[in-house]
Amino acid sequence: GESVGLHLPTLSVQEGDNSIINCAYSNSASDYFIWYKQESGKGPQFIIDIRSNMDKRQGQRVTVLLNKTVKHLSLQIAATQPGDSAVYFCAEGGSNYKLTFGKGTLLTVNP
Amino acid sequence: EPEVTQTPSHQVTQMGQEVILRCVPISNHLYFYWYRQILGQKVEFLVSFYNNEISEKSEIFDDQFSVERPDGSNFTLKIRSTKLEDSAMYFCASKPGTSGGNEQFFGPGTRLTVL
């Protein structure tokens, strides 16, 4: 069956360091993947997406890498800031654009 | 910047009661979704809605659940007879047409507490 999961449930970094959040997926037929950020008490907020025919995409301070060989997705955040502290979810885009979310990684940025 | 809104922010109800959760998606969006998130767990897909009908639903979305888009603006989720395990955050999301990218825009959520 379809599943999207995360290797690390928590990640603690120092302000200014780079953060890497990982995600494993099992459905090789997914069209795209999205990273969402969720702050406490709020809805998921889009960060970046990547289509399945790409292996890298860059945004502002963020890079998503897709390795289809091992079904692995990562989100790299450069120069992590306290405002980056949140739960990060990877999500798999499927039929009717529905999203299948992973369990989430809690990122804590220490000042 | 346009955003998805949801009301109420918190709903407390007794088991067996009906609840209606309301959402106003972004006005020019075509795809609409409900997701739920039990405390401390991942976000789970409930239902997708397109062209005035359900396009897909999950196993969670049983006969107790229904959705409506009554007036071209609001998008509602009704739970007919709530159970304790329905307690969760419910998120509405909307998405532009196929040319508008993959991003789904989420609302702030409604926290449903069933007593």
CB spacing of A32 vs B41 below 8 angstroms: no
pLDDT for res B1 = 82
Q: Does the distance separating the beta carbons of A34 and B35 come in below 8 Å?
A: no
Quick one: B84 exposed, middle or buried, by C-beta within 10 A (0-12, 13-18, 19+)?
exposed
Residues 6+ apart with CB under 8 A from B76: B20, B21, B22, B23, B67, B68, B69, B70
Among chain B residues, CA nearest to A6: B42
Under an 8 A CB cutoff, do A97 and B95 touch?
Answer: yes
Beta bridge partners of B43: B37
- Tens-level pLDDT at each residue, chain A (111 residues): 344 554 448 999 999 999 999 999 888 889 999 999 999 888 999 999 999 999 999 999 999 999 999 999 999 999 999 999 999 999 999 888 999 998 899 999 998
Cβ–Cβ gap A49/B109 under 8 Å: no
pLDDT of residue A7: 46
B35 touches chain A (CB under 8 A): yes
Tokens matching residue B102? 């993959």
Q: What is the pLDDT of residues B11-53, one digit of tens each?
A: 999 999 999 999 999 999 999 999 999 988 889 999 999 999 9
Q: List, as ranges, residues 44-73 from B with C-beta within 8 Å of A.
A: 44-45, 48, 50, 55-56
Rounded to a whole number, what is the distance in Å from the CA of B21 to chain A's nearest CA? 15
Nearest to A99 by CA among B108, B69, B58: B58
Q: Is A98 on the interface with B (CB under 8 A)?
A: yes
Amino acid at A43: G
**Under an 8 A CB cutoff, do A97 and B31 touch?**
yes
B105 touches chain A (CB under 8 A): yes
DSSP state for residue A37 in the 8-state scheme: E
Average pLDDT along chain B: 94
